[in-house]
Every structure is written in structure tokens, then in C-alpha cells.
Amino acid sequence: MPIVIPKDIPAYDILDGENIFVMSNLRAQTQDIRPIEIAIVNLMPTKIETETQLLRLLANSPLQVNPTLVKTETYLSKNTSENHLNRFYTTFDKIKDKKFDGMIITGAPVETMKFEDVSYWDELTKIMDYAETNVTSTIFICWAAQAAMYHYYGIDKELLDDKLFGVFEHKKLIKFEKLLNGVDDVFYIPHSRHTKISDEKILKNPLLVPLCGSKDAGISVIKTHDNKKFFFTGHMEYDKFTLKTEYERDLEKKLKINKPVNYFTDDKCDDVNVLWRSTANIIFTNWLNYYVYQVTPYDNK
């Protein structure tokens, strides 16, 4: 089944060109199917790239998915045109009386700031509180995972000595977990962050279940026992060249940055190995199937 998105959103032509099944809103309205309603709270400055990455993963499923793109009201993006935001995004205030089957909250480039100093922190905490009772299951990615750990459990992020940057080997910490069904025993996830969540604090919290980890990147996927919250400290959604773009950006800014680990195929930094795409597709499909579709009410109002 397809993901249902407007035909004039940039992601439509990109995904259609990749032979990913996308459907326009007009065609979807003629089908007698109750689509899965997913809210995507996009905090990234590169909104078009991020929304395309996430829509690609949500489309790789047998379910019909109807995404709602959400922007912050308290902070206006400087990197995405106002026209794009007005046409394809809504605000939390306009959806707060609606229920969603799933929600994804992205990372944001504010990780070295105190949470309370982030301009949209109060708005984000309202969204996280809303998700507790109005969303069947929520994924928090990278900084959003750290923000959620802090908001829900009082676990603050910790600054790393050096940026964790690259594609890292991971292993399962639980033998049988539906989210990881079909994932190899050894798999890879990209990371790009200056901060971390303490493994020790995660392991000590009885409400949290670590699912996979890495000797370099630490515990990377965590869930709650009720399966309502999933925390991804890495970026499974990243495209082939996302880390390359970040690396070149930091070099241009003359920031301290090492080459992303286990990523480039040669010293010229021209091409890369994609080691995480199948893992990302499997995990997002499993989340949609086992933790959203299988448990969400049919009449989710």
C-alpha cells in the first residue's frame, strides 16, 4: 500500500522516481480504506530533506499511511521557504484535538543548549504530553530522544569529548523483540551528535527497555514497556550522502570535525558505503505494523 501525500510536495516526485508507491490525496479519497494517521513533528532545519527521508521509510510498508507534517509555532525555520511551510505543514494548535495512530519527532541542531533554553521547548513539552494520551506509539529521534528522556524521566544529556560521527556496528540486546524482527544479528546505524544519554541511567530506569547497542555509540534504541515510546539515538532515516553533507559543512565552517567513521569508501571522500538502509526499512515497517497498526483503534477519534 502507498503513503498518501500531496502531489505537489517535493517528496512526491523524488519517491515516485525511486519506484516507491506514493498516492495523491485525490486518489486516496476514492479508496474505502482507513489509513494509518502519522504526525511528523519536523524540528530539523533541512525540512524538505528530512520529510522526504521519513516519508520514504513510512512508504515501505503494506499499510496506507496518511502523514501530517507539523512545524513549531514558536520558532520560524530560516532554511525552508515560508511557501513550503504554509502549503504542507500545520501547527500543534491545529491538531491538538485530534488523535493519531503514530507520531515521529525528529532531531534538531540544538543539542549543546540546555533544554529550557531552546525557543520552542515549552511547545515541545506540550506535544510530548499530548502524545501520552492521544498517540498510540511515538518515535523520538536523536535530540528528540534526549529531550523526551529529560522530560519524561529527568535523565539529562551528557556532553561528549568529541562528536560521535559515522556509521557504527550494533547488536541486539534482546533476543526476541518485534521491532527488530528480520534485522541481522550485527547491523549498522548512523550517528551524528555531540551529546549522549547515559547507558547507566537507562539501565537503572525500570520503565525503559534497551533493545540494541554499540560499543562506540552506546545504547541506541530504547522503548518503554507499554510500547508507546521508542527512542532512537541515531539517524536510521539518513540518506546516502547526509553525513557527507554534514562533514563538508563543518569543514567549510572550520569546525573541529573528524571524518565519519566506517562511511567513505576511499580517502577522496567521494563515495560512501550505505550499510544501514535495510535495517532502517525493517525497523520502521515493524514499528508501523506491530506497534501502530496492530494495536491502534479502528475508529481512532
Task: Please give the positions annotated as active site.
Answer: 142, 235, 237
Residues 154, 6: Cα–Cα separation, whole Å? 39
Q: 175-209 as b/e, with b when 16 or more CB fall inside 10 Å?
A: eebebbeebeeebbbbbbbbbbbeeebbeebeebb
CB atoms within 10 A of CB 68: 17
CA–CA distance, 113 with 43 (Å, rounded to integer): 15
Torsion, CA 229, CA 231, CA 115, CA 135, rounded to 10: -30
- Can you tell me the distance from the alpha carbon of 59 to that of 62, in angstroms, rounded to the nearest whole number? 8
The conformation of residue 179, written as its DSSP 8-state character, comes to G
